[in-house]
Amino acid sequence: MTDVARLAGVSHQTVSRVLNDHPNVREQTRRRVQAAIAELGYRPNRAARVLVTGMSQVIGVVAQSSALYGPVSILNALAHAALQHGFTVSVESVRALDPQSISDAIGRHRDQRVAGLVVIAPVESANEALDAIPDDVPLVTIDGDPRRTAGLVTVDQEAGAYAATRHLLDAGHQTVWHVSGPADWFDSQGRVAGWQRAVAEAGAEVPPVMQADWLASSGYRAGQILARMTEVTAVFAANDHLALGILRALHERGKRVPADISVVGFDDVPEAAYLIPPLTTIRPDFAAVAAASIDLILEQVRGGQRLSERRILTPALVERDSVAPPAG
């Protein structure tokens, strides 16, 4: 920086002003400094800036490491959205969402002096660590506890589940079965709630929830059971991978989809359109979730205070070929 200042014939402070777009610099001086920067290929030292300002241009993200489509899509979109505002994201992946792991990850972020924190906190056990974060750190949770008052961005799981179930009922099914994600995920809870509401509103009997995790393997196991029950004609799976496993189990036992049983998924993974049969599903807008999160966090960074605003995004139904009227 000293070299740049010397070459441009100004003080280092003026260079700093040019770098930070301060208003009080003569146009001519600014150009001279910029030329010197370009000529020397100078790049500012972030660490020095962070040291003196006490804050980096980085958004810290905490997420569970997984290859699940939803979280991965959100992560990618977060990086992209942040970049458009001149920020970088730094992701701390945790193995499991226990309070200790989460607060370790948050600690590592705070050591880096991140400007704000985005935590993908889909389970209850995250709350404890979240509550321990000092109030002066901007915070947004994605898929977090709907009951918490902090900044929250999420897709409306209940509305999506309601739409999926409603779609099956509208096709003429008496009732709809549900294969759910892990019980401790808020996503699962919301989807169960939306499904129950739709079935109950239709005056139908609400079948018991079939508990699973998010993977095709557990969908397959649930499907094996569903295939044995002759009264089942419609299933809403909590995500597309579960649906994939169900499809396979039904196929194995000679149940045709959608002729014998209709299935709806959730997420609209890229493969959904190429399953046998193409899967009707619910599509959340992950890019919008990310954009809203970055928006909300930057508002807090600029304002210097916590915001407890919520942004809830409604997902859309994508119709394909896995739903038909019941056989009878």
Q: How far is the CB of 43 from DNA (least distance, A)?
A: 7
Q: Which does 25 bind (CB under 5 to 8 A by kind): DNA, a copy of itself, none?
A: DNA
Alpha helices in 84-230 (DSSP H): 99-111, 127-131, 157-170, 186-201, 216-228
Q: Residue type at 178? A: H
**Residue 45 binding a copy of itself, by CB under 8 A:** yes
The residues with which 60 forms a beta bridge, in sequence order, are 90, 117
Q: Which does 237 bind (CB under 5 to 8 A by kind): a copy of itself, DNA, none?
A: none
Rounded to whole angstroms, how far apart are CA atoms 76 and 190? Answer: 24
Q: Which does 93 bind (CB under 5 to 8 A by kind): a copy of itself, DNA, none?
A: a copy of itself
**Residue 65 binding a copy of itself, by CB under 8 A:** yes
From 92-100, 162-170, 202-210, 309-317, span contacting a copy of itself (CB under 8 A): 92-100
Q: 197-229 burial by CB neighbour count: b if 16+ within 10 A, else e?
A: bbbeebeeebbebbbbbbbbebbbbbbbebbee
Q: How far is the CB of 174 from a copy of itself (least distance, A)?
A: 27
Q: Which does 305 bind (CB under 5 to 8 A by kind): DNA, a copy of itself, none?
A: none
Are 269 and 216 in contact, with CB atoms under 8 Å apart?
Answer: no
Closest residue by Cα to residue 82 from 315, 296, 283, 310: 296
Are 76 and 45 in contact, with CB atoms under 8 Å apart?
Answer: no
Q: Which does 271 bind (CB under 5 to 8 A by kind): a copy of itself, DNA, none?
A: a copy of itself
Q: For the chain, what percentages of helix, strand and coil (3-state, to nearest 5) are there?
A: 45, 15, 40
Rounded to whole angstroms, how far apart are CA atoms 83 and 89? Answer: 8
From 25-33, 215-223, 271-279, 303-311, span contacting DNA (CB under 7 A): 25-33
Nearer to DNA, 115 or 324 (CB): 115
Q: Please select the residue that binds DNA; options are 6, 7, 29, 88, rule is CB under 7 A.
A: 29
How many residues bind DNA (CB under 7 A)? The answer is 29
Encoded tokens for 176: 């709809």
Computed on alpha carbons and rounded to an integer, the radius of gyration of the chain in Å comes to 25
Residues with Cβ < 8 Å from 51, sequence gap 6 or more? none
Q: Please select the residue that binds DNA; options are 1, 206, 215, 225, rule is CB under 7 A.
A: 1
Q: How far is the CB of 248 from a copy of itself (least distance, A)?
A: 5
Pattern 109-128, a copy of itself, x by CB under 8 A: -xxxx---------------
Q: Binders of a copy of itself among 222-281, rule CB under 8 A?
A: 241, 244-245, 247-248, 251, 270-271, 273-276, 278
**Residue 46 binding a copy of itself, by CB under 8 A:** yes
Q: Binders of a copy of itself among 162-221, rule CB under 8 A?
A: 215-217, 219-220
Residues with Cβ < 8 Å from 138, sequence gap 6 or more? 115, 116, 117, 151, 297, 300, 301, 306
Sign of CA dihedral 19, 25, 27, 29: negative
Closest residue by Cα to residue 126 from 187, 77, 81: 187
Task: Name the site residues for a copy of itself (rule: CB under 8 A).
Answer: 43-48, 50-51, 56, 65-67, 69, 72-73, 76, 79-80, 88, 90-93, 95, 107-108, 110-113, 215-217, 219-220, 241, 244-245, 247-248, 251, 270-271, 273-276, 278
- Residues within the interface to DNA (CB under 7 A): 1-2, 9-17, 19-20, 23-26, 28-30, 43-45, 48-49, 51-54
